Amino acid sequence: MNKTKQKILSKALALYNRDGVSNVSIRQLAKDVGIAHSNLIYHYPTHEDIVLGLHDLMLREALELNTGLVQNDSPLKSLYETTKTGFSVVYEFRFFFKELQYICKAFSKVKEVLRQVEKVRYVMYKKVIGDMIASDLIRSEEFDGEFDDLIVRIKIYSDHWLESSSIYDDLSKEEKINKYSYLLLQHIYPYLTDKGKDEFKRIQITTTKPH
């Protein structure tokens, strides 16, 4: 990505996070980046293009951070670390999650991308759960589709914890990320085998839990 595009996305992210997508004009953005309006729309003709660019950046960043994580021998610990990393990225791109409904309504391409990404996320969780079953950390399904249902619940949770937190919590960024990463693991906890629960205790995933 060239430097101008980088600067545009970086400034757009700051403005979107501060004011909300619908309250930022292309003209204001150009002014804040310090480039001509015509130059900005050459790179990104519309807000939809910018939001798509930011969404792409968000995915790359999450992927990069996760690739950089130190490997460890506990799948539960790995899931926790991956979640914390992912939720930090969610926080960084928070306009996206706070305005998900508006964004999906206003920008149909973004909605389409989200629906594609959901499929990737599904496969990822399916693998994580499958691996944990294979390692006897999670019990097997008690009925058909039980873990597909769990993945849907995790999706709703992951997309919306930030929004919920902004209504009900008075927490710092760090506290939010810790609290909600811990609660994501709580989705998995009741499916753990005795071995899985021992593992869960061993890796000492805790939260200060200020609800």
The residues that touch a second copy, with contacts defined as CB under 8 A, are 98-102, 104, 111, 114-115, 118, 142, 145-146, 148-150, 152-153, 155-157, 159-161, 163-164, 166-168, 182-183, 186-187, 189-191, 197, 209, 211
State which residue, 70 or 167, has the beta carbon closest to a second copy.
Answer: 167
State which residue, 50 or 154, has the beta carbon closest to a second copy.
Answer: 154
State which residue, 54 or 151, has the beta carbon closest to a second copy.
Answer: 151
Q: For 27-32, which contacts have Cβ atoms below 8 Å and span 24 or more sequence positions?
A: none
CB of 190 to a second copy, least distance (A): 4
CB of 12 to a second copy, least distance (A): 19
State which residue, 35 or 48, has the beta carbon closest to a second copy.
Answer: 48
CB of 84 to a second copy, least distance (A): 17
CB of 6 to a second copy, least distance (A): 28
CB of 192 to a second copy, least distance (A): 9
Instruction: Report the 10 Å Cβ neighbour count for 189.
Output: 15
CB of 15 to a second copy, least distance (A): 16
State which residue, 30 or 151, has the beta carbon closest to a second copy.
Answer: 151
- Residues 53/110, Cβ–Cβ less than 8 Å: no
Q: At what angle do helices 3-19 and 47-68 cross, to 10 degrees?
A: 100
- Residues 8/43, Cβ–Cβ less than 8 Å: yes
Q: How wide is the angle at C-alpha 22 spanned by C-alphas 14 and 63, nearest 5°?
A: 45
State which residue, 3 or 168, has the beta carbon closest to a second copy.
Answer: 168
Helix (H, G, I), strand (E, B) or coil at 184: helix
Rounded Cα gap, residues 102 and 99, in angstroms: 5
